[in-house]
Amino acid sequence: MSRTHAEWQQLAATLGIEGRLFIDGEYAHAHDSRTFNCINPATGDKLAEVAWSAAADVDAAVAAARRAFESGVWSGLPPLKRGKILKRFAALIRQHRDELALLETLDMGKPIGDSTTVDVPGAAYCVEWFAEAIDKVGGEVAPVDPKLVGLVTREPVGVVAAVVPWNFPILMASWKFGPALAAGNAVIVKPSEKSPLTAIRLAGLAKQAGIPDGIFQVLPGGGDVGKLLALHMGVDCIAFTGSTAVGKLIAGYAAQSNLKRVWLELGGKSPNIILEDCPDLARAARTAAGAIYYNMGEMCTAGSRVLVQRSIKERFLEEFRKAAQRYYPADPLDPAAGMGAIVDQIQFDKVLSYIDQGRGEGATLICGGQATQVESKGYFIEPTAFDCPHPDLTICREEIFGPVLSVITFDSIDEAVRIANDTEYGLAAAVWTANVSTAHQVSRRLRAGTVWVNCYDEGGDMNLPFGGFKQSGNGRDKSLHALEKYTELKSTLIKL
């Protein structure tokens, strides 16, 4: 059922919000009773007081996870049975779609139309996909000496900590806990302090679905809580999504402690290359606008650099300006909103300072460039694009994580590929061309974990692995490859 703007506002006014952490099957206050305020970025209003997990809570959660994991209450279940419980979990996420979507939108400012159609159903789909897959993947019998039997099996890694960001809170968390739970691990989710509410709510649904105590726990709090988990000797694997800077720290914490497995999904500065034989320039412009303005540009895969061939540049920009209008910010609870609010004051200030820097470094505004408000409130920024005189401007190189596009002009395909790859990141890239050979040739040369041809951000399908080359990280979320992160390979040799 789709609701009107007024109905969402009404539902928001009566929504009960759980702010406690979740350890060993129970909601509880932080050990030292510390809390933080969760703020709605569209209004500045306080939504809830949320527990800030203490070191003692981290220890308690890790101990509960270890106990539950080693008891075999989850890892020892037949995969079919684990899958059935996870399917119930997915069904409960779907049943609570509106409540979860509303929490997500109030907490981090994204349009309610996206939370209801992308984030929440996407999380349910992920859990369900791994639930269905887990009894269909087996081991190997190795072709060894006939006097032996050589078995190759996969076993759960043990206690997995999932430290996740604020831009797609429920979805990024599910990309970690979906495969990790399916593989038989105990998972501790550490949501971002900017958007903890959906993860906290999920804990109750996990319990209701029948996931045993200690197998799914949630520790809200800040970077200190993530650091305690990453340094913890009782954590076997840390699955992280967030910035490249923090990803490097996490790898260091693992090295300083127990060499826990480290999986990193990090930042990006993804190029979207529009060649002069682009099959449909108006569609390319609309897609380019979506690629940078969807989710307020707070996207690791944001198409934040458009590389456009000189001969079609003016026509492209004309279409792009029209397309950008659709993303003018509105109240995130309005189902028609194209863009919502920036997650908080810190991110808002950071994005505006990049806009100032773009102006200061000689880029020309194509559209936007201003902060704005909705009903005199909130952290909103206009969909902004700059025409950049060269690709070495700060706004062409650094991840802004906001609705700011850099347009760079090129003459030849070689030049486009060189500029596209001239970045520390390698998360995603796109190329628009009508020539199938050019499409293949350019795709091969792009150093990125995902390449789109004549589209952008297609990829809701769980069958496709997702992750980055270079400093965009290691390992892959989604697809059967994600199971590799949460399992250890074991060789068993039996002498006959």
**Where along the sequence are the contacts to ligand NAD (CB under 6 A)?**
163-167, 172, 190, 192-193, 222-223, 226-227, 230, 241-243, 246, 249-250, 265-268, 300, 399, 401, 427, 468, 472-473
In the bound state with ligand NAD, the residue whose beta carbon lies nearer, of 71 and 394, is 394
Inter-residue contact 6 to 335 (CB < 8 Å): no
Inter-residue contact 458 to 481 (CB < 8 Å): no
Q: Is 78 exposed, middle or buried (0-12, 13-18, 19+ CB in 10 A)?
A: exposed
Please report how close the Cβ of residue 203 comes to ligand NAD at its closest, in angstroms: 16
In the bound state with ligand NAD, the residue whose beta carbon lies nearer, of 243 and 454, is 243
d(CA 168, CA 297): 12
In the bound state with ligand NAD, the residue whose beta carbon lies nearer, of 380 and 469, is 469
Strand, coil or helix: what is 346?
helix
Q: How far, CA to CA in Å, does 28 sit from each of 15, 22, 35, 53? A: 20, 6, 12, 10
Inter-residue contact 428 to 449 (CB < 8 Å): yes
Please report how close the Cβ of residue 401 comes to ligand NAD at its closest, in angstroms: 5
Sequence-distant (≥ 6) Cβ neighbours of residue 158 within 8 angstroms? 66, 69, 185, 186, 236, 237
Please report how close the Cβ of residue 174 comes to ligand NAD at its closest, in angstroms: 12
Residue 66 in tokens: 């270890």
Please report how close the Cβ of residue 76 comes to ligand NAD at its closest, in angstroms: 31
Strand, coil or helix: what is 393?
coil
Which residues partner with 163 through β-bridges? 190, 240
In the bound state with ligand NAD, the residue whose beta carbon lies nearer, of 61 and 312, is 61
User: In sequence order, what E strands does 275-418 have?
Assistant: 305-309, 364-367, 371-374, 377-381, 384-388, 404-410
In the bound state with ligand NAD, the residue whose beta carbon lies nearer, of 88 and 232, is 232
Give the other-Cβ count within 10 Å of 143's Cβ: 7
User: In sequence order, what E strands does 361-417 have?
Assistant: 364-367, 371-374, 377-381, 384-388, 404-410
User: In sequence order, what E strands does 351-495 have?
Assistant: 364-367, 371-374, 377-381, 384-388, 404-410, 428-432, 450-453, 473-474, 487-495
Q: Which of 104, 128, 265, 298 is catalytic?
A: 265
Please report how close the Cβ of residue 339 comes to ligand NAD at its closest, in angstroms: 17
Please report how close the Cβ of residue 26 comes to ligand NAD at its closest, in angstroms: 22
In the bound state with ligand NAD, the residue whose beta carbon lies nearer, of 167 and 185, is 167
In the bound state with ligand NAD, the residue whose beta carbon lies nearer, of 179 and 184, is 179
In the bound state, the residue with its beta carbon closest to ligand NAD is: 226
Give the other-Cβ count within 10 Å of 37's Cβ: 11
Which residues partner with 154 through β-bridges? 489
Please report how close the Cβ of residue 164 comes to ligand NAD at its closest, in angstroms: 6
Q: What count of residues does the chain have? A: 496
Q: Is 375 a catalytic residue?
A: no
- Report the DSSP pairing between strands 159-163 and 237-241: parallel
Please report how close the Cβ of residue 131 comes to ligand NAD at its closest, in angstroms: 22
Q: Is 327 exposed, middle or buried (0-12, 13-18, 19+ CB in 10 A)?
A: buried
In the bound state with ligand NAD, the residue whose beta carbon lies nearer, of 270 and 409, is 270
Give catalytic residue positions: 265
